[in-house]
């Protein structure tokens, strides 16, 4: 579980940001910002610069959030896959199913087809 300092720091920030951005207070904060921006419209005469502020900020936030949320999702998906593999390993489940997330789409379709036919090669002996 060794990570270098940069990865560990980024993972912590990504997790905290992804978790925090899904909370009601984050929605409230974003809504308050939008309302504040709208209220300043008449003050700035709804100028192009006034519109550009919101467009720029929303683009930047969206761009950064994609990477933070994807990082968190990748780690959670990997952890879930490891847990599922461990469950398969310790039960009488089909051990050939471990690691199939690495297969290509056509290979997965073949596995699905074989399972639906009841292919015995996917059953432990």
Query: What tokens were used for 105?
Result: 């789409």
Task: Taking residues 19-28, report their average pLDDT.
Answer: 91
pLDDT of residue 89: 79
Neighbours of 14 (CB within 10 A): 20
* Residue 69: how many other CB atoms lie within 10 Å: 15
What pLDDT does 124 receive? Answer: 47
8 Å CB contact between 37 and 53: yes
CA–CA dist 11, 64 (Å, integer): 14
In this structure, are residues 16 and 65 in contact, taking their beta carbons and an 8 Å threshold?
Answer: no
**H-run or E-run covering 40:** none
Cβ(81)–Cβ(73) below 8 Å = no
Indicate whether this model's pTM tops 0.95: no
Which of 41-45, 75-79, 102-106, 111-115 has the largest mean confidence?
A: 41-45
């Amino acid at each position: 579980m060794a990570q270098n300092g940069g990865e560990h720091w980024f993972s912590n920030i990504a997790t905290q940001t992804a978790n925090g951005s899904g909370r009601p207070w984050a929605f409230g904060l974003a809504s308050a910002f939008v309302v504040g921006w709208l209220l300043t419209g008449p003050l700035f005469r709804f100028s192009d610069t006034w519109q550009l502020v919101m467009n720029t900020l929303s683009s930047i936030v969206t761009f950064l959030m994609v990477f933070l949320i994807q990082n968190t999702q990748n780690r959670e998906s990997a952890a879930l896959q490891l847990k599922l593999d461990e469950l398969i390993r310790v039960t009488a489940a089909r051990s050939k199913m471990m690691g199939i997330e690495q297969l290509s789409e056509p290979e997965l379709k073949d596995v699905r087809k074989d399972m639906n036919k009841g292919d015995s090669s996917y059953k432990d002996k």
